[in-house]
Structure 1
Amino acid sequence: MKSVSRIFSHALDLTGWSISRRSVLTGALATALSGTLLGSAWAQDDRKTLRIVQSTALKVVDPIFQNAYPVRNHGYLVFDTLFGVDDKYRPQPQMVKDWSLSDDKLTYSFTLRPGLKFHDGTFVKSGDCVASIKRWGSRDTMGRILMDRVASMNVVDDSTFTIVLKEPYGMVLDSIAKPGTYVPFIMPKRLADTPADQQVTEVVGSGPFRFVAGEFQPGVRAVYEKFADYIPRSEPPVWTSGGKVARVDRIEWIGMPDSQTAANALMNGEVDFVEMPPLDMLDILEQTQGVVVKDVMHVGYNNAVYPNWLNPPFNNQKIRQALLLSLNQKDVLAAQVGNEKYYSECKAMFVCGSPYATDVGAPAGPDIEKAKQLLKEGGYKGEKVVILQASDIAMHGAVSPVVAQALRNIGMNVEVQPMDIQTLFTRRGNQAPIAENGWSIYNGYWQSVDILNPITNVGVSGRGKNGGWFGWAEDEQLVSLRQDFIKETDETKRKQIVEKIQKRAYDLVTYVPAGMFNVPYAYRDNVKGLLSGPGPVFWNVSKD
């Protein structure tokens, strides 16, 4: 995989798959796609309709309720943010016109750009922003850290609001400009007042595209139309900042049964863009007339394997350490990605090539005999290990069998339970015992921008059931070290704290890093203006 260090040179100033795939687009499926998915789109001006396939079909439409990347990508189409970030990860005003900080560094004042409207025709007001920040802050890790330091948020008038801190905190703008999940999107107060663990009843944003609720078929198709009243900024678009100009009238997000089918649809000209084409088809795609394969995003993904600390056997530290020593990153990446051009081993919990990259605490490599010994010392009694597998997304699902085999190799009793990704997202929240539909391990991957530091990397939070990530790793020392990192302003000392955090996290095995990979986009050659960002963004995109 290409080095990602170049994307961090100006980074955050923190002052052969096991899943079967179709080799052809069958006649029956092609007919179905044409009739139920693409039919209405063909009736549109083809140059004004963009047909996209993302990593999975859209089923959940509230990006604060669920933090999956497809839901975030949907959010960027519909919603806007107070601040965005540029390609050096610096916060830049987006919905905000002006802002100021008091001399005592406790009061931030924000004034909105005039004329901003929601898709329901109402004007965006400061009360909407305050309510949206509160909802996001109750859900997001970085948001919770911010809200812990907020004394009050006050509506001054329709266009101005303040955030008053209990003590100076230098990450306020970085927090509300956060490009990774959960993103602090702004929605009307009437919706933002919905508890964050409940989905909103409508999708109403103020972004460049509006969600067409009447055409939404969960898991099949989502439709967006250009919002005529959107007022883009005058600056050029960079990452999530600058002018978000909608250059197509309509976007259709089409669900596909697998990435192979999506690639065939792209080659046939039935869709315009595929976010995650199958890596073993890239050579074919590159040789297909009319198709472009390009690494637009640049940031890469980081695999993570999460043991459940609540259930035996992984409520035992020695058995978690056995998991760590059983797994070979090369095996994971070879099964998941295959092409060495697009992956690399990485032991750093805060992204290889980043300012906080370190191998401190990481084992030299897998050690099967030591893993077996740890299993014995931990008193493993043959308890069933249930691994959740997302069978509908190859990049997810290919990892689970590798983890299962690694554990079987050291003598563990393993059951892999396949399910679609949306079911997995629900199931992973179950804290019950195995006998009550609980689980032992699940795997996922993070974009690099989401785990660059101990604030955003939820795998080292140590908060357990009190706001911790799925798997619920709990450790007061990690909580304390994280607070030390937040308060520290000296960068050298911050790096020392990062090393302590990573060493502790590896010793406890809060999670297992399992390598880095990247996936280029594939799209028709008449698609122009795709931008780099935290994921696919479709403002500035046009079709010739």
Structure 2
Amino acid sequence: MNVLNSRPRRLRAGLAAAVTAGVLLLAGCGGGAAPSANTAADAGPPVRGGNLIVAVPTDPQSLDMVANPGQVTAHIGNLLYEKLFEVDKEFAARPMLVETYETSSDRLTYTFELRKGVTFHDGSPLTAEDVVASLQRWLKSHVTGQQVAPDVVTLKAKGDDTVLLKLKEPRYPLIDELASPGAEIYAAKNLEGVPATGFTDKGAIGTGPYKLASWDIGRQVVLERYGNYKSRADQDWGGQAGAKQAYLDTITYKVVADQDALVNGLQTGQWQHAMPGNDQYTALKENASIVVGNVAGANQNVIIPNHAKGSKFADVRARQALNLLMDKPAMNAATGGGPDLTAAVGAMVSEDNPALYSTVGDEVYKQHDPAKAKELFAQAGVKAGDTVRIVTSNSYPQFAQWAVLLQDQLAQIDIKTKIDTYDFPTMLGTINKDPGGWDLTTLFFNAALTSPSQMPAVTLGAFNGSASPEIAALVREYNAVTSPVQAKEVMDKLQALVWEQLPVITLSQSRLYAAWSPELKGYDGFYRVFWNSWLKR
């Protein structure tokens, strides 16, 4: 799950795994519209030195991207750690710690040759054993890795610089999955005995262009340039791929929870970058002294029906009825930011990734027929006077607003509702504690995905009872394809099936945005990635 601007302290087990499936972070990729005030033409030559101050809404809690794949953790981790592959601004996987790789003719065996001379921040060399230890942990403990794990037969080191990975059957998106959050490479020695809650700050050692200098918990995290960083010589592919110049001496992530303080600090120059809430967007965009632009990826805003026995939505006709009843334009208005930030689409993946983006099912998404909805509810056994139980959170205002709007819309056809509102961690714990004690919940997920296996419609199956053999079969079919054309065809079929079975009901996609000082140059709108950015003097 990629929450807009913050991440609660600790997700509970179970739903936690499902919610973070797209994760972060992804911190995935793509790019928003590039603001004219920050184009290459007016940036001037890069300047080396200086401290960039970035306001973040919460302390990262952990810098372990497997145990805590929240947004702030992921954004800081992108500068500390690297993967075998990284995504560029087009979502394509590019080699990072891998120099070259080969795939056997049967597409079952991958041989990865590592780049030589790469070292961790403590000076120890990157080895194949580090890669194996990191990926074994990913396969066991990260949601994307858990999707891959059943296909893995062997993962082993061959000497210091070669990693062999053998599959049971071909997996078309494997390289893309290795470029997704959670697959970062850590030193094997720092993973020994690490608990499920993750390593401490002493384990936050990677191969990235910046290293951890200090961490004043609850106040700020400071990174400093890693002097022995070995950059790829490739061109800058954008996103998280290619050459990393590390122009800045230090990057300070300062915790600023209050939105008014966040905006005031931007205006007064206390910090040079922030990702404020949607309610601040219009005012910031009208401020000539601040640059505002979309950043990478999007969130998928969803209503999640409980498919479990005893839920009002166990019958697909009830889910179809809800889709027909929901006034999506009104609910999207509650999301904030207007049309610049909210896209009224039923897609499961951000359009920044054209390989996975699909508009199939939009005709179902756009349907609105309360009279037909009432008929379908009755056919599903949900009658006037029945009560629908909605569990939501006030940690993210739009969640609670969606719940109230659902309440109003259900009341129009004489169905009652009971809304239970909690802070976000308590909401997750309540749902996990009583899987049958709710009918609907409200969430959003990272839509910047690299594989269908990361879609909430797939990963939520065990959580809300929506696991489907038909969906699972299409994921396997996708994994078996051999070309982008075939992949797109299967993705279209998969999205059509999602809109037929409705494991989740999509409201919209929300674009993310950032606001920054005109002094920040070389920033391409990719979340909080600043290794090729500098401060104009």
TM range (shorter): 0.7 to 0.9
1:152 equivalenced with 2:145 (yes/no): no
Instruction: Name which of 452, 455, 458 aligns with 1:457.
Output: 455
User: What is the one-letter code of the residue matched to 1:488?
Assistant: V
Of 82, 101, 104, 2:103 maps to: 101
Q: Distance in 2 between matches of 1:346 and 1:289?
A: 31
SS of the residue 1:77 aligns to: helix
State which drifts further: 322-331 or 492-501: 492-501
Are the equivalent residues in 1 in contact too, given 2:170–2:480 (CA < 8 A)? no
SS of residue paired to 1:414: strand
User: Which residue of structure 2 aligns with residue 412 of structure 1?
Assistant: 416
Structure 1 residues 273, 405: closer, same or farther in 2, change over 3 A? farther
Is 1:210 the counterpart of 2:184 in the alignment? no
Q: TM-score, normalised by structure 1?
A: 0.78
Higher relative contact order (CA 8 A, sep 6+): 2
- 2:444 is aligned to 444
CA 1:236/1:500 → structure 2, altered by over 3 Å: closer, same or farther?
A: closer
| Farther-moved stretch of structure 1 (310-319 vs 247-256) | 310-319
Mark the runs of 5 or more structure 2 residues left unpaired by the alignment.
1-28, 31-47
Partner of 2:503: 510
Matches within 5 A, 1:153-172: 153-172=155-174
Q: In structure 2, what is the Cα distance between the partners aligned to 1:295 and 1:50?
A: 20
2-side partners of 1:428 and 1:124: how far apart? Answer: 43
What's the CA shift string for 1:27-58, capped at 9, x where partnerless? xxxxxxxxxxxxxxxxxxx9722221246542
Report SS of the residue matched to 1:290: coil
Equivalent position of 1:389 in the other structure: 393
Task: Look up the match of 1:51.
Answer: 53
Shift of the alpha carbon at 1:214? Answer: 4.4
Query: 1:212 offset after TM fit, Å?
Result: 4.3
Conserved 8 A contact 2:57-2:257: no
Once the two structures are superposed, what CA deviation does each residue of 1:508-536 show, in whole Å capped at 9, x if it has no partner? 22001111232331111111111343x32
TM-score of the superposition, structure 2-length normalised? 0.79
Give the root-mean-square deviation of aligned CA atoms. 3.2
Q: Distance in 1 between matches of 2:453 and 2:84?
A: 20
Tell me if the contact between 1:135 and 1:196 (Cα under 8 Å) persists in the aligned partners: no
Aligned equivalents of 1:493, 1:102: Cα separation in 2: 20
Q: What SS does the corresponding residue of 1:295 show, helix, strand or coil? A: strand
**Distance of 2:461 and 2:227 partners within structure 1:** 45
> Once structures 1 and 2 are overlaid, which stretch shifts more, 299-308 or 80-89?
299-308
CA–CA distance in 1 between the matches of 2:491 and 2:172? 18
Hey, what's the Cα distance between the residues in 1 that align with 2:370 and 2:439?
A: 24
Corresponding residue number in structure 2 for 1:19:
none
Q: CA deviation at 1:473?
A: 1.8
Task: Report Cα offsets for 1:284-314 as digits up to 9, x if no partner.
Answer: 33444532112343x3333222223346233
Whether 2:228 is the aligned partner of 1:249: answer no
> Who is 2:321 aligned against?
322
Post-superposition offset of 1:346? 0.5
Give 1:142 shift.
Answer: 4.3
User: Aligned ranges for residues 5-16 of structure 1 at < 5 Å?
Assistant: none
- Give the corresponding residue for 2:266: 266
Q: Offset of 1:267 from its aligned partner?
A: 0.9
Q: CA separation of 1:222/1:497 partners in 2, compared to 1, >3 Å: closer, same or farther?
A: same
Shift of 1:111: 2.4
Query: d(CA) in 2 for partners of 1:496 and 1:196?
Result: 41
When residues 460 and 296 of structure 1 are mapped into structure 2, their CA distance, relative to the original with a 3 A threshold, is closer
Q: Which residue of 2 aligns with 1:175?
A: 177
Q: Secondary structure at the match of 1:206?
A: coil
**Structure 1 residues 364 and 145 mapped into 2: Cα distance closer, same or farther (>3 Å)?**
same
Instruction: Flag structure 1 segments of 5+ consecutive residues without an equivalent.
Output: 1-10, 13-45
CA spacing shift, 1:106–1:339, aligned 2, 3 Å: closer
Q: Report the more deviating stretch, 405-414 or 340-349.
A: 405-414
1:186 aligns with 2:185: yes
Q: For residues 189-217 of structure 1, what are the alpha-carbon distances to aligned partners after superposition, in whole Å with 9 as ceiling and x for unaligned?
A: 23445678442233222222223454232
What is the rounded CA distance, in whole Å, between the counterparts of 1:398 and 1:227 in structure 2?
A: 45
Structure-1 separation of matches of 2:163 and 2:494: 36
Which amino acid is the alignment partner of residue 98 of structure 2? Answer: V
Deviations 1:153-182 (A, max 9, x none): 12112222211233444433222123xxx3
Is 2:311 the counterpart of 1:309? Answer: no
* Matching residue of 2:429: 427
Between the aligned partners of 1:318 and 1:239, the Cα distance in structure 2 is 42
AA matched with 2:61: K
Q: Tell me, in whole angstroms, the C-alpha distance in 2 between the residues paired with 1:315 and 1:293.
A: 44
Q: Alignment partner of 2:461: what SS?
A: coil
* Alignment match of 2:76 (pick from 61, 69, 74): 74
Task: Tell me the amino acid that sits aligned with residue 244 of structure 2.
Answer: K
Give, as a single letter, the amino acid of the residue that structure 2 aligns with 1:324: N
Given the alignment, which residue of 524, 530, 537 partners 1:538?
A: 530
| Native 8 Å contact 1:233 1:244 kept in 2 | yes
Name the SS of the counterpart of 2:334 in structure 1: helix
Distance in 2 (CA, whole Å) between partners of 1:388 and 1:193 is: 38
Q: Give the conservation status (yes or no) of the 8 Å contact 1:389–1:400.
A: no
- The answer (yes or no) to whether the contact 1:153–1:162 under 8 Å persists in 2 is yes
The whole-number CA distance in structure 2 between the counterparts of 1:541 and 1:493 is 38
Does the residue aligned with 2:134 lie in a helix, a strand or coil?
Answer: helix
Q: 1:350 to 1:283 in 2, by over 3 A?
A: closer
Return the alpha-carbon distance in structure 2 between the equivalents of residues 300 and 214 of structure 1.
29
Residues 428 and 111 of structure 1: CA distance in aligned 2, closer, same or farther (over 3 Å) = farther
Secondary structure at the aligned position of 1:300 is classed as strand
Q: SS where residue 111 of structure 2 aligns?
A: strand
Aligned to 2:8: none
Task: Provide, for residues 55-83 of structure 1, a one-character-per-residue CA deviation record: whole Å limited to 9, x for no partner.
Answer: 65423432112333333212212211111
Alignment of 1:482-501 (within 5 A): 482-489=475-482, 493-501=486-494
- 1:98 alignment partner, SS class: strand
Matches within 5 A, 1:13-24: none
* 8 Å Cα contact 1:136-1:196 kept in structure 2: no
Contact kept? 1:52, 1:253, Cα under 8 Å? yes
The 3-state SS of whatever aligns with 2:94 is: strand
Separation (CA, whole Å) in 1 of partners of 2:194 and 2:319: 35
Q: Secondary structure at the residue paired with 2:454?
A: coil
In 1, the alpha carbon distance for the partners of 2:431 and 2:123 equals: 37
Distance 1:371 1:70 in 2: 40
Is residue 2:369 matched to residue 1:372? no
Aligned to 1:333: 332
Corresponding residue for residue 515 of structure 2: 522
The aligned amino acid for 1:538 is: F
Report whether the alignment pairs 1:292 with 2:291. Answer: yes
Distance 1:67 1:306 in 2: 21
Letter matched to residue 389 of structure 1? S
Distance in 2 separating the partners of 1:134 and 1:284: 47
- Is residue 2:223 matched to residue 1:224? yes
Letter of the structure 2 residue corresponding to residue 517 of structure 1: S
